[in-house]
Amino acid sequence: MIAEVHASRPGGRTARVRADVLAAVESELAEHGYDGLTIDAVAARSGVHRTTLYRRWKTVPGLLVDLLEAGADDAWGPADTGSLEGDLVAVNREIHAALTARPSITQAVIAASFRTTAAADALTRFWEDRYERTALVVCRAVARGEIPGGTDPHQLLLTATAPLYHQMVLLRQPMSRDQADQHARIAAASVR
Amino acid sequence: MIAEVHASRPGGRTARVRADVLAAVESELAEHGYDGLTIDAVAARSGVHRTTLYRRWKTVPGLLVDLLEAGADDAWGPADTGSLEGDLVAVNREIHAALTARPSITQAVIAASFRTTAAADALTRFWEDRYERTALVVCRAVARGEIPGGTDPHQLLLTATAPLYHQMVLLRQPMSRDQADQHARIAAASVR
């Protein structure tokens, strides 16, 4: 999905260590925020020795960057509901769930991106990748003849998804799932 | 405007000291970010003694909160262009200018809001006030018979303005002024 970050967990010992470490980073970040994220806490939670963490990830920003890069490796794609409106509603529901989760890893990663340039750059790349994948909902709608071929996927996805982030992250106000659905519908109607 | 923060500068010695201090806070914040904002630097730049700063504002977050509260005191209102689309374009151009300014006080204040709860709360109140004032463009459009009476002002303003913040603040990507105009037009069309 666009908003959530999950390390994939393929086989192999190195991959398992990485998965354990990144799962611990997610949990620590969600529970204590970026200020509470330490190599020692990740070591304790993951059961991976701190010397391994220092050797492979070096710093706390290094851990965060790897968490976002692991998210970019996964197999996520937008749900195929058969209509543009349905697809956008599904995307917005994923974002809504990620931003309202308590604790929210997405909110924690966004906050961390204002603390370190490495995290900001990694989050930018992560979202670029997610929005590119989500553009598939626009291609499918064009292929079905639902919307014109010249539709700008990024503009459409911004119209649908930006209100959720702005309201819940920057304005720091609640938004109901119905309101999130409504923004998906406004976006779909804007290109018909 | 919704995005920019400016201390008003009424008469009286206390008011002048406040205006000088907040102007220095703006400049320091824009040039060095929240991490570079110190009482000493504000004292040097404003010519106001540091003991006065400590007595009246106490801390760096205290300065930032007062900057945002001063913004809430000013006489800002949305431009009246005669049409909903024109009014929304004008609002989006102000936000676009504030977010693309180099340095951008707005970007610096947003970043600071992820560092301290006091700044986050003050920014939330500041924006609440700005969006409430901007709702006037919706009332005027209803009064002109341009859009239906039941139109939700906040939903409409989110549709218009959120893409600018999401793209330029969270996704950290450029957006042209034409694209900002376009999101104002999409929002206006969504309620016709």
Q: CA-to-CA distance for A40 and A43, rounded, in angstroms?
A: 5
Cβ–Cβ of A172/B111 closer than 8 Å? no
Nearest CA in chain B to A123: B171
pLDDT of residue B1: 46
Enter the ipTM. 0.90
Question: Over the range B139-151, which residues count as b (16 or more CB within 10 Å of their CB) and which as e?
Answer: ebbbeeebbeeeb
pLDDT of residue A1: 46
Q: Please report the DSSP string for B43-94 in residue order.
A: HHHHT--HHHHHHHH-SHHHHHHHHHHHHHHS-------SSHHHHHHHHHHH
Domain boundaries, chain B: 13-72, 77-190
CATH superfamily of A78-190: Tetracycline Repressor, domain 2 (1.10.357.10)
Per the prediction, chain B carries an average pLDDT of: 92
Top-level class of domain A13-72:
mainly alpha
For residues A170 and B128, is the Cβ–Cβ distance under 8 A?
no
pLDDT of residue A82: 97
Q: Which of A86-100, A157-171, B83-97, B116-130 has the lowest mean pLDDT?
A: B116-130
Question: Could you read off the pLDDT of B83-134 as tens digits, one per residue?
Answer: 999 999 999 999 999 999 988 888 889 998 998 898 899 999 999 999 999 9
Question: Between these two residues, A104 and A139, which has the higher pLDDT value?
Answer: A139
Q: What is the mean pLDDT of residues B16-20?
A: 94
Q: What is the mean pLDDT of residues B39-67?
A: 94
Q: Looking at the predicted structure, is the pLDDT value of residue B56 above 90?
A: yes
Judging contacts by C-beta atoms under 8 Å, the chain A residues touching residue B163 are: 155, 158-159, 162
pLDDT of residue A30: 87
Q: Looking at the predicted structure, is the pLDDT value of residue A144 above 80?
A: yes
Q: What is the mean pLDDT of residues B26-46?
A: 91
Residue B95, Cβ neighbours under 10 Å: how many? Answer: 23
Rounded to a whole number of angstroms, the distance from the CA of B176 to the nearest CA of chain A is 12
Question: Could you read off the pLDDT of A29-80 as tens digits, one per residue?
Answer: 888 888 889 999 999 999 999 999 999 999 988 998 899 888 877 889 999 9
Judging contacts by C-beta atoms under 8 Å, the chain A residues touching residue B161 are: 166
pLDDT bucket at B74, cuts 50 / 70 / 90: confident
Task: Kindly state the tokens that stand for B128.
Answer: 């609440």
Per the prediction, chain A carries an average pLDDT of: 92
Cβ–Cβ of A183/B120 closer than 8 Å? no
Percentage of residues in chain B with pLDDT exceeding 90? 72
Q: Looking at the predicted structure, is the pLDDT value of residue B7 above 80?
A: no
Cβ–Cβ of A170/B169 closer than 8 Å? yes
Rounded to a whole number of angstroms, the distance from the CA of A32 to the nearest CA of chain B is 14
Tell whether B155 lies on the interface with A, counting CB pairs under 8 A: yes
CATH superfamily of B77-190: Tetracycline Repressor, domain 2 (1.10.357.10)
